Structure 1
Amino acid sequence: MGLTIANNVTSLNAQNNLTRANSRLTKSVERLSSGLKINRGADGPAALVISEKQRAQISGLKQAIENTEKAVSLVQTAEGALGEINSLLLKVRTLAIDSANTGINDEDALAANQSEINNALDTIDRIANNTQFLTKKLLDGSAGINGVPNDTDVTFLQATNDTSAGSYAVAISAAAEKATITNGTAQSSALAGAENLTINGVAISLNAGLTQSQVVDRINEFTSQTGVTAEDVAGNTRLSSANFGTNASISVVSDVAAAADSSGFGNSVSTDSGVDIAGTIDGVAASGSGNVLSATSGAAQGLKIQVGTDPSNATQTVSGAQGAVSVSVNSLTFQIGANANQTANIAIGRVNPSSLGVGVNGNQFGNLSEVDVTTGAGAQDALAVVDAAIDDITNLRGDLGAFQQNTLNATANNLRATLENTVNAESVIRDTDFAEEIANFTQQQVLVQAGTAVLGNANQLPQLVLSLLG
């Protein structure tokens, strides 16, 4: 190359290389100061795309872990309340066992036990209605599977995780009946003499001179002990059990022969038992106990309803078509994954006393709220209902425990492992390798310094022409 003045190509070459070295040095400084080797799309388009997708996953995984931890707190809140209900049920069971000891307990002791049971049931109801996480109620049924009948004679009692959402027609083919006994001879005048009635093993003394209405009132004074209610039906005295179904029974006998001036029940023992309800739910034969109908198969499996009393006959339920029950599934849904539809659900059923111990076969009590231990028979039946209620609560606690352990905790552990690996993968793509980058920084720094010195020398080359002119 010739020696020229107008164009200093050597200087331009030095400038070009110095600019490149300076650019690389600037990039190295940026990477060292930011800690990232991909700071903009130009640093690596494909790497940036992959990295940003991984960052989205990382943020989603972190939030999913937090969601899971919040879900654990909610489940523990519900489980803690259920634990307290369980303790109250154990107390109720103890009182029922004490009441069953009729050889020792008198009426006052039984009444005291019943009062304490009522208080415990009120507390259970309060816990069920008031337990909440933030503002979300957990045990009142709003977080579970609910049913709404469109007929006032039908009451929704319970549904399980086996019950599907939908509308289910209810039809009663045979009404439930209470145990009933009507005096064989109508009492048309005051009692001629003192009389003793024995109803379900309870002795009731009737003084001479009592009218029929007074006899009815006297019998009803012992309803809490006998489980029997008396009423005047067209001039006759009719006894009926408090509950429906085959386990409701009445036994009555008098020490006076039936006559118009006596109670009219006579001195021969009369007995009667109730009849269980029969019918279908969603067109499928259901199981009847008392006035409770339970679906045992099909889409409605687990659905339990209670049928109301016939307005024209207080001793039996309504019959025929009774509208439909609309079941809705309001399970709690937790977002426990980093992506759409990665959720887990659990239903927490209603645990009010009226929803516990429902439909125990052959029992005079339809649910926990009805238990009455003021009689020996009532105490025995109460035990069965309380045991069923304890099963309801412990099964729900087991479901919650399994959901927490096998779904939430296991998922959280998996999410943490996934987060660790995803962060590691994103780090490989995006983070600066300081050992490598410092070496590169040192190299570029030396090149810039050398390039600057060389450029200075290149700029001096045209001065060599002066030596030729001399």
Structure 2
Amino acid sequence: MAMVVKNNMSAVNTLNTLNKNSSDMANSLKKVSSGMRVNGAGDDASAYSISERMRVKIRSLGQCEANTETGKSMLKTAERAVNEQVDITKRLKENAIKAANDTCTDEDRKIIQKETNHLLMQMNDISYETNYNGIQLLNGRTITEPYEPSFIPRVGTSTANRGGIQITESGTDPSTKHPPLVGKKVLAGNTSPLNFDYPDLPRSLHNQGFSSLCEACSQFASVLFDANTDEVLYANDKKPIGSMSEVFVIGIKNCRTPEDIGEAILNGLAKARAKYNVPKASNAIDSHHGIKFFKSSTNPAKYSLEANEQTQIIYNGVSGDVEFTGGVLPHQSLMIQGDTKASAETRIELPNTTLNALFPGSPLDNDWKTVPRQMDYPKEWPSDFVVEGSAEYEYYDKKYGCNGDIEQIRKEKYYDEVWPYPRKGASATASCVTTIQKATRFIDDLDQALKYLVNCATTLGAQCQRMEVMNENLVTSDESTQASESLIRDADMAKEMANFTKHNVLTQAAQSALSQANQGSSGVLNLLQ
């Protein structure tokens, strides 16, 4: 090998090895000191990205665990308060039974009434004073959405004209456009005469009707007939795209002629728009397109739909049902925020246990919509649910005047014993136990209140259990995510210590070798002497 002085390649090569060993030792030292294999995106870009997302998930799950814990604490606070109210109700029933006994005098009942009044006031105080972090829990601070009527189409109804309203123009294009309305599509002009001359009025028009459609915004406006009532109902079904379908249910119970039907529509539209605060003219059947219902000035039995400077599209033979959704019920709905799809925005129900909820016939009545609807009853009654001819059958028949109607008797029993909310008319007044008759009535009302309170307590307890399960699921998810993140990011300390020791030794060896390589150039000086 040549002896040179300008380029000492042995020293250069040794120096490069020294730098590499020093860099590897520094990386190992960083991993050992931090305990992490991935300290930044430069260590492992994909692993860094995945682990950072997992870290966000872990922190979110931790907060959600805290949310469920506080939610459970809030529910337990409410549950304990309701249990106190259940105990008070037991004492109230003892007082009512005592007052209903003939061994008590009127003076005794006055004393019992005083205790009863204080107990009732205490129940109300519990409802208004029970709070968690300033949130009132049992007084119905917030209420669920009110009952909203919604039109449900009879999907699959034949598009043939099998009744409904006869429209002067005829058409053959059955509509397949989106619900809510089904029927025969009729292209009409600005004015579409309608004919209500049917036999067997009003039954022949029951649950039938007609519609107009704006194809530009897909808004239906409809009139549907109900032969079982004289009332009017307005259903507004909002669509995701922003348009909506409007349905006016017109009661025609006492209509016997086509003119009666027409007048019922005119009066019903006006009444609905006033009652439900629906904008536009009193005879308009939609809110946006100027389609109105008119009576002929020359023929009292002739009626028509008229549109403002637009061609109407009429649907004949409309059929459907109006049902209620939502509900003004004596409870408030709050949200516990979770992180998983199964627990995100979990709704919990906090009951209203104030006196006007327990006794909805009291002067403080808020008109809770607690009466069962048809959909609330079982589709099929159990065979042993009130046996015809039994003592139970006779009791409910006599108590509620059902005239032997087994269906009605079963509904009354369901309302009394199964339906979780108190029966309308239950009351608690300042004289509820002052006479035997009032005390006897108050016993029944207390049974209704107790049924409701027990349902509230069990609902709160069940929701507490749900929070526990939800918390356990979140803890499991948290642990699993942390374990996954650890596999990606945490350093194997034994391995990294071994690497550090190896690189440390190699670095020291390279330093010694560099010193020896630098000594090689000094040999050239000996040749120059």
TM-score range, shorter chain: 0.5 to 0.7
Deviations 1:270-303 (A, max 9, x none): xxxxxxxx9979579xxxxxxxxxxxxxxxxxxx
| 1:426 pairs with one of 485, 500, 505 | 485
Q: Secondary structure at the match of 2:103?
A: coil
**Mapped contact 1:146–1:330 kept (Cα < 8 A):** no
Q: Secondary structure at the match of 1:393?
A: helix
The CA distance in 1 between the partners of 2:492 and 2:518, in whole Å, is 38
The CA distance in 2 between the partners of 1:118 and 1:424, in whole Å, is 60
Aligned ranges 1:64-463 → 2 under 5 Å: 64-101=64-101, 103-145=102-144, 164=147, 166=148, 323=275, 330-337=332-339, 342-358=344-360, 366-370=425-429, 372-405=432-465, 407-463=466-522
Larger radius of gyration: 1
The CA distance in 2 between the partners of 1:458 and 1:409, in whole Å, is 71
Deviations 1:134-173 (A, max 9, x none): 11111111144375xxxxxxxxxxxxxxxx5x379xxxxx
Aligned ranges 1:13-92 → 2 under 5 Å: 13-92=13-92
Q: TM-score, normalised by structure 1?
A: 0.60
**Mapped contact 1:145–1:347 kept (Cα < 8 A):** no
**Mapped contact 1:125–1:353 kept (Cα < 8 A):** yes
Bigger Cα displacement from structure 2, 29-38 vs 4-13? 29-38
The CA distance in 2 between the partners of 1:417 and 1:279, in whole Å, is 58
Q: TM-score, normalised by structure 2?
A: 0.54
The aligned residue for residue 213 of structure 1 is none
The alpha carbon displacement at 1:118 in A equals 1.2
The alpha carbon displacement at 1:117 in A equals 1.1
The CA distance in 2 between the partners of 1:440 and 1:6, in whole Å, is 36
The change in CA–CA distance for 1:126 and 1:415 in structure 2 (over 3 A counts) is same
The alpha carbon displacement at 1:115 in A equals 1.6
Deviations 1:248-271 (A, max 9, x none): xxxxxxxxxxxxxxxxxxxxxxxx
Deviations 1:290-318 (A, max 9, x none): xxxxxxxxxxxxxxxxxxxxxxxxxxxxx
The CA distance in 2 between the partners of 1:127 and 1:281, in whole Å, is 41
The CA distance in 2 between the partners of 1:110 and 1:462, in whole Å, is 122
Deviations 1:145-203 (A, max 9, x none): 375xxxxxxxxxxxxxxxx5x379xxxxxxxxxxxxxxxxxxxxxxxxxxxxxxxxxxx
**Mapped contact 2:428–2:442 kept (Cα < 8 A):** no
**Percent pairwise identity:** 30
Give the letter aligned to residue 349 of structure 2: A
The alpha carbon displacement at 1:330 in A equals 5.0
The CA distance in 2 between the partners of 1:462 and 1:335, in whole Å, is 74
The alpha carbon displacement at 1:368 in A equals 3.7
The alpha carbon displacement at 1:366 in A equals 2.0
Deviations 1:62-89 (A, max 9, x none): 1000010000011011111111111111
The alpha carbon displacement at 1:357 in A equals 4.2
The CA distance in 2 between the partners of 1:70 and 1:122, in whole Å, is 29
The change in CA–CA distance for 1:374 and 1:323 in structure 2 (over 3 A counts) is farther
The CA distance in 1 between the partners of 2:145 and 2:358, in whole Å, is 15
The alpha carbon displacement at 1:51 in A equals 0.6
The CA distance in 1 between the partners of 2:427 and 2:462, in whole Å, is 26
The aligned residue for residue 7 of structure 1 is 7
The change in CA–CA distance for 1:420 and 1:54 in structure 2 (over 3 A counts) is same
**Mapped contact 1:372–1:378 kept (Cα < 8 A):** yes
The aligned residue for residue 302 of structure 2 is none
The change in CA–CA distance for 1:453 and 1:432 in structure 2 (over 3 A counts) is same
The alpha carbon displacement at 1:459 in A equals 1.0
**Mapped contact 1:143–1:347 kept (Cα < 8 A):** no
Q: Secondary structure at the match of 1:4?
A: coil
The change in CA–CA distance for 1:342 and 1:30 in structure 2 (over 3 A counts) is same
Give the letter aligned to residue 23 of structure 2: S
Give the letter aligned to residue 445 of structure 1: N
Give the letter aligned to residue 113 of structure 1: I
Give the letter aligned to residue 333 of structure 1: M
Give the letter aligned to residue 331 of structure 1: S
Give the letter aligned to residue 121 of structure 1: L
The alpha carbon displacement at 1:124 in A equals 0.9
Q: Secondary structure at the match of 2:520?
A: helix
The CA distance in 1 between the partners of 2:505 and 2:14, in whole Å, is 14
How many positions carry a matched residue from both structures? 307
Give the letter aligned to residue 114 of structure 1: Q
The CA distance in 1 between the partners of 2:341 and 2:34, in whole Å, is 29
The alpha carbon displacement at 1:398 in A equals 0.9
The alpha carbon displacement at 1:466 in A equals 3.0
Give the letter aligned to residue 55 of structure 1: R
The change in CA–CA distance for 1:432 and 1:79 in structure 2 (over 3 A counts) is same
The alpha carbon displacement at 1:465 in A equals 2.2
Unaligned runs of 5+ in 2: 151-228, 236-270, 278-325, 362-370, 372-398, 401-415, 417-422
The alpha carbon displacement at 1:28 in A equals 1.1
Q: Secondary structure at the match of 1:466?
A: helix
CA RMSD of aligned residues (A): 3.0
The change in CA–CA distance for 1:122 and 1:146 in structure 2 (over 3 A counts) is farther
The CA distance in 2 between the partners of 1:375 and 1:37, in whole Å, is 83
**Mapped contact 2:332–2:350 kept (Cα < 8 A):** no
Deviations 1:373-406 (A, max 9, x none): 222222221111101101111101111111110x
The alpha carbon displacement at 1:336 in A equals 2.0
**Mapped contact 2:88–2:123 kept (Cα < 8 A):** yes
The aligned residue for residue 193 of structure 1 is none
Q: Secondary structure at the match of 2:351?
A: coil
Unaligned runs of 5+ in 1: 148-163, 169-277, 285-319
**Mapped contact 1:60–1:338 kept (Cα < 8 A):** no
